[in-house]
Every structure is written in structure tokens, then in C-alpha cells.
Amino acid sequence: MMQRTRRISGWIALRGELPRQGLISIGTQIMSAAPIVLGVMGPLTVGLVAMVALPPLYAVTRPLVDCIAIVAAHSLIAAVPQYLMRQRVLPVTFLAWSMGLPIPWQTRLLGHAWATSVAVAPLFAAYVLSLLVWIWQSPTWLRETWNASIAALLTSMLGTWLLGMLTLMAREHLCHANRRAAVPGLPQCHGRAWREAPRRWPRDLVIARDLLLRSVWRQRSWRWSFGHPLLIVLSATCIAGLTLTDSRALVGPATFALIGAMLFVVIALWRDSAIQGRLAHLQEEVSGWPVSFFQLKVVAHCWAVMPTTALSVLFSVIALREPSAKGFVASLCWAAVGFMGPPAVLTLTRSATRGRWAAAAGLFGALAIIGGFL
């Protein structure tokens, strides 16, 4: 019995080590860019930390239906970083290695629970810090609803933890069901695409599209079939809320500006990270092919910024429909930054570098601050 307990403890400790190493890697990159990030958006960063726990704390002052909706939305949005980190928490190589191990499902479930707890620990620490700020401020509405506000915050935290755990369970199940998902697929391009390129497009661009994009969309994963469209829809919703709501609404334009700016930057960085991996794989392979690597880079950058460009067009159509409307200058500035910001960030900086972090933080800060004036 003692030996079995040690085996279970060892597996759970191993599962906790994976997200810990991922958090250390992300923290190292963030700390390398901390001076620049704090210099660009220092006061905004402090304000964001103070605001992370506000929605569930304030939700209990609203009607019951609104309270439930706010807490559920807060849990879902807080679970997005856990979804984006799932590849670090459950790497492909670890899944491929652990598939054949005789580990009971109860032990695997405990491992998922512990890995999720380690991954959400920094977020929950930010919740505690935010709660302490609001306790120190001690507004009237919080003094009147103290117990209910704490319960709503704990419910939101539990929901985020459960969503993160379900994400890990779904990733493991999909990789077990389809072993091909545990090995990154190589870019595929059939000979027909080489011979029958449409005449209305340059030949190299068609080949580059097939080499890069078909391998991305052929991945049958939740990331591209569900998570990626969801982020785009949420970003479009925030843009619509930013331009169509006023300060008296339940969720004001400032909240939509912060969430929309975050999603806007995340979509561009996520797509660029996905396409740059395939571009790096092809860099050595295409040296002897009749393909221009420059054309591949052009296709990669255009594909990465395609959703942000479409979102900027949506914002322009909604916000600039009335030239005399209040906030026209701010709307024009937001649209200009939305159009030119992502291409500039992805073109002028390299992935996972201090410059990329600083540029992304600057783009987020600019969109959030300009959106606050709408």
C-alpha cells in the first residue's frame, strides 16, 4: 500500500512539474520585458490587477440573472489563459510517452486536478491581491454585500479551475482517441496543387498557401475548430459593445475596451505563433524547391493579421458611420492602430523575444487607452 501511494504521489508531482516549468518559462520572458512593459503601461497594469476580481464582487449587487451571467462570463474569460497554456501543461511528447502507461483513471484525474491547480495559482494570487485592494478601499456596496461578494468570487474561481481541468481531460482524451494528434503533422501539398495553380494568382503564392495554411486547417483539434472561432467572436462582440454601449450600461465601454484589446492582441500573436512553427519547419526544406521563402513569409504574416484586419473593418463600419458623433477622433485613432498595429508588431519583432512582448504590451495599452475615450 505504501508503494502504491508513492507511485501515485510521484505521478501527481510529475504532473505538477509540467505547468510549473511552463509558468517559469513564461515568467522569465515577461520579466525580461518587465522594464519596458511597466514603462509603457505601468499605471494601466496596476489598474488591471485591481480590477480582476471586481466583476464577481460587484455582481451580487445586480439581479440574480445578471449576477449568474457575470460570474459565469468571468469564469470563462479567466479560463482562456489556461486553454492557451494547455500545450505547456500537457506537452505532445508527454502525452505520447504516457499513453502506454498502466495508470488508473483515478490517478490521472488527480494529476489533472493538481496540474490545473498549479497552472491557475498565479491567477488566483492576482484575485487575492485584487480583493485586498477592494477591502482597503472599502466601498459602500462591498460593505453591504461582503459575504455574498466573497461567495461569488470563490464560485468564479471554482468555475475557472473546473474549466481548466476539463480542458486537460479533453486534450488527453483526444490524443488517446487519435494518435496522429500526438505528433505534429508535416505540411502536405499534393502534386495537383503544383500543376493546377489558378492562373489569376501568382504561382508562388498559391504554393505557399498550400504549404502553410492547409497543414494548419487540417489539424482536427479543439484549438482551431472551437477555440479560435470563439476568440474571434468574443473580440467582435467586445468591439460592438465598445461602440454601441454607454457608461450607464451594466458593462460599460471601458470594460469592453480592456477585454477587446486583450483578445485583439492574443488573436494576432496566437495565429503568428502557429504559422511561424510551420514556417521554421519549411525554412530548411524549401531550399531546393522552386518556392520563394519570401513568399512564404508574406503569406504567413498576411494570414496572421487577417482576423485583426477584419475586426478593424468591423469597428470602422460601426464607429465611423456618423462622422459628427462624439468620440470620432478616438474612433479614428483606434481604427488606425487596429489596422497598422498587428502587422507592425509581427513584422518588426521576432516571436518570444523581449521586443515582441514590449510591442504587444504597447499595442494592448494603446487600444485599451484609446477605447476608454470612446
Per-residue pLDDT, 285: 67
Cβ atoms 210, 193 nearer than 8 A: yes
Instruction: Report residue 30's pLDDT band, with 50, 70 and 90 as the boundaries.
Output: low
Is residue 374 helix, strand or coil?
A: coil
Cβ atoms 222, 343 nearer than 8 A: no
- Return the closest-CA partner of residue 165 out of 125, 112, 124: 112
Exposure string of 252-271, with b = 16+ CB inside 10 Å and e = fewer, is ebbbbbbbbbbbbbbbbbbb
**pLDDT, tens only, 325-361:** 556 778 888 888 898 989 888 888 887 777 788 888 8
Taken in order 120, 351, 223, 112, the sign of the CA dihedral is negative
Angle between helix 253-285 and helix 64-84 axes, rounded to 10 deg: 20
Distance CA 372, CA 43 (A): 14
Angle between helix 293-319 and helix 253-285 axes, rounded to 10 deg: 170
CA distances from 195 to 116, 190, 213 (A): 49, 9, 18
**pLDDT, tens only, 154-211:** 999 999 999 999 988 888 877 766 554 444 443 444 434 333 434 344 555 666 667 7
Helix (H) / strand (E) element for 240: namely helix 228-244
